[in-house]
Amino acid sequence: MKVVTTIKELQTILGEYRSEGKTIGLVPTMGALHAGHASLVERSVRENDVTVVSIFLNPTQFNDKTDLEKYPRTLEADCELLTQVGATIAFAPSVSEVYPEPDTRQFSYPPTDSVMEGAFRPGHFNGVCQVVSKLFSYVNADRAYFGEKDFQQIAVIRRMVADLGFGVEIVPCPVIREESGLARSSRNTLLSEDERKLAANIYRIMKKSLDLYPAHSVAVVHDYVVREINEIEGLEVKYYSIVDGETLADVTSWDDAPHIVGCITVYCGAAPIRLIDHIKYKG
Ligand code: AMP
């Protein structure tokens, strides 16, 4: 696997692959890679001749600077993992390479980017669109792989791709979980052993709420999840939104949309660490 840090070198190598008629898959990441990322890369390796994995801790999507500072950085281990799973190129640029000038572009795709994480982390999805649009331009990939772990992110990126006419196919990939059910996340390394156990309750309770669907109303299911999680000391629900799986608009009835998903953010432990997850009720 080749590690590349400049856009110029990346494009020179990709130009050669393109001229040989090879297909290109892109997996954007912020590093601190784990089995969740690996599943995206493995899929891209299966479906494309060439797989580019970007490793870039994008400052513009962090509205909370402490969150950015705390974020784990493990480039060497990341490259080892990527070699093992068969990536072709790791693209790990500096901040000044990606942002030679401050990015002043504003993206707005409501309600996908204005609800949930969009409401609680102002500017977050604008930063995501800034960096992902740049990566799409650099790589000109046939397919780009995103984890459903960040369910809302996929909905926002789909809107951006439609808006800007990128020719890339967005491939959503299922959440990879620890044995306990906890969604794998780079942030999990910031949790103590006890906090990890606590955090496993999030998905356990969301899964239990499936038993209430569809006999009970959306409001009852919502309140059940919030109450059960908040009853556990060390966990605090920031929001639980039951939404249309495409537009992410709130639903009030199970008949409101063909796909209905519950999206949650929970604060876990003393620090606290923000954890997100989701569950599909319908479709
Ligand atoms: P990140 O490095 O957190 O920006 O994640 C890079 C990509 O990996 C995103 O598309 C995430 O949704 C995806 N990802 C992260 N964790 C998981 C997981 N547990 N299962 C599936 N995909 C994941």
State the DSSP string of the chain.
-EEE--HHHHHHHHHHHHHTT--EEEEEE-S---HHHHHHHHHHHHH-SEEEEEE---GGG-S-HHHHHHS---HHHHHHHHHHHT-SEEE---HHHH-SS--------TTTTTSTHHHHSTTHHHHHHHHHHHHHHHH--SEEEEEGGGHHHHHHHHHHHHHHT--PEEEEEPPPB-TTSPBP-GGGGGS-HHHHHHHHHHHHHHHHHGGGTTTS-HHHHHHHHHHHHHTSTTEEEEEEEEEETTT--B-SSTTS-SSEEEEEEEEETTTTEEEEEEEEEE-
In this prediction, residue 19 has a pLDDT band, given cuts at 50, 70 and 90, of: very high
Give the residue with greater pLDDT, 7 vs 64. Answer: 7
Structure confidence at residue 261 (pLDDT): 98
In this prediction, residue 219 has a pLDDT band, given cuts at 50, 70 and 90, of: very high
Question: Which ligand 1 atom sits closest to the C-alpha of 148?
Answer: 12
From ligand 1's centre to the CA of 19, what distance in Å? 31
Question: Which ligand 1 atom sits closest to the C-alpha of 184?
Answer: 19
Structure confidence at residue 103 (pLDDT): 98
Question: Tens digits of per-residue pLDDT, 28-50?
Answer: 999 999 999 999 999 999 999 99
Q: What is the mean pLDDT of residues 150-157?
A: 98
Q: What is the mean pLDDT of residues 270-278?
A: 94
Question: Which ligand 1 atom sits closest to the C-alpha of 32?
Answer: 2
| Active-site choice (37, 124, 222, 278) | 37
Q: What is the mean pLDDT of residues 172-190?
A: 96
From ligand 1's centre to the CA of 127, what distance in Å? 16
With pLDDT > 90 as the criterion, what percentage of the chain qualifies? 96
With pLDDT > 70 as the criterion, what percentage of the chain qualifies? 100
Q: What is the mean pLDDT of residues 242-267?
A: 98
Please confirm, yes or no, whether 37 is among the known catalytic residues.
yes
Among residues 23, 81, 77, 27, the alpha carbon closest in space to that of 52 is found at 27
In this prediction, residue 266 has a pLDDT band, given cuts at 50, 70 and 90, of: very high
Structure confidence at residue 51 (pLDDT): 99
Question: Tens digits of per-residue pLDDT, 98-111?
Answer: 999 999 999 999 99
Is residue 176 within 6 Å of ligand 1 at its C-beta?
A: yes
Residue whose CA is at the smallest distance from ligand 1 atom 10: 146
Q: What is the mean pLDDT of residues 110-133?
A: 97
Q: What is the mean pLDDT of residues 163-186?
A: 97
Residue whose CA is at the smallest distance from ligand 1 atom 22: 147
Structure confidence at residue 239 (pLDDT): 98
- Tell me if 240 sits within 8 A of 225, measured CB to CB: yes
Q: What is the mean pLDDT of residues 151-159?
A: 98
Q: Calculate helix-pair angle for 218-230, 193-209, nearest 10 degrees.
A: 160
End-to-end CA distance of the chain: 39
Q: What is the mean pLDDT of residues 44-69?
A: 96
Please count the CA atoms within 13 angstroms of the CA of 260 that sit on its side-chain side.
21
User: What are the angstrom distances between the C-alpha of 126 and each of 106, 115, 153, 249?
Assistant: 6, 13, 11, 18
pTM score:
0.96
Is residue 53 within 6 Å of ligand 1 at its C-beta?
A: no
Q: In what order do the strands lie in the sheet with 273-282?
A: 235-244, 260-268, 273-282
Domains of the chain, with CATH numbers?
Answer: 2-173 (3.40.50.620), 186-278 (3.30.1300.10)
Residue whose CA is at the smallest distance from ligand 1 atom 18: 36
